[in-house]
Amino acid sequence: MEERIIFENENTLVIDKPAGKNSDDFEGRAHRLDKDTSGVLLIAKNKKALDYYQSQFKNRQIEKKYIALVTGHIKNSSGEIRTMLGRSPSDRRRQKAYLLNDPNIENKREAITKYKVLKNFENYDLIEAEPLTGRKHQIRAHFTYLDHPLAGDKLYKFKNQKTLEGLDRQFLHATYLKVTLLEGEETEFQSELPEDLNKVLEKIK
């Protein structure tokens, strides 16, 4: 499936990345989305724009929101997850969340995710997640830490986690990005849930 162009000018390209495509394939990407995460991806078309956008991401000046389906029901309808995050000692492909006062947090980095529950299903919650930091696998690791791993997440799933019919990837979509463009204008970009994720929701209503 090909990416859809949301916005383009001489310095900036914003695309709707399909699941299954590696964001590293896009030259000049200013941030990354996991291969099986779909949604809004910001790409710089020159070095000046790349440095500018990467600085904004580093300084937490860019607002990002994701839609995710998590297993089970989250205790609070909204909240903030604040941990340290680092490579899991038991599986180097995974990230693991640590309490802020954990004695083993050397070389770990702070990770903060705000969330709110959008809709309850029988065995799942549809949520909006807003990562305030940009750590690898942050949303996936944070909700596993809360004992609510993302539906369809093969890497972070629990041993007896049920699979959802028609879902062959983690249910995670980058739906919103607010950024100040190189030209100085604050701009919002949005992407609707793709067809494969909408079909999953229709089946579990």
CB 193 within 8 A of CB 56: no
Residue (of 111, 105, 106, 146) closest to 125 by Cα position: 146
**Segment (H or E) for 80:** strand 78-87
Residue 138, helix vs strand vs coil = helix
Among residues 16, 24, 25, 34, the one annotated as catalytic is 34
d(CA 93, CA 89): 10
Query: How many CA atoms, within 13 angstroms, populate the side-chain half-sphere of residue 6?
Result: 20
Bridge partners of 131?
Answer: 113
Active site residue 34: yes
Catalytic residue positions, numbered: 34
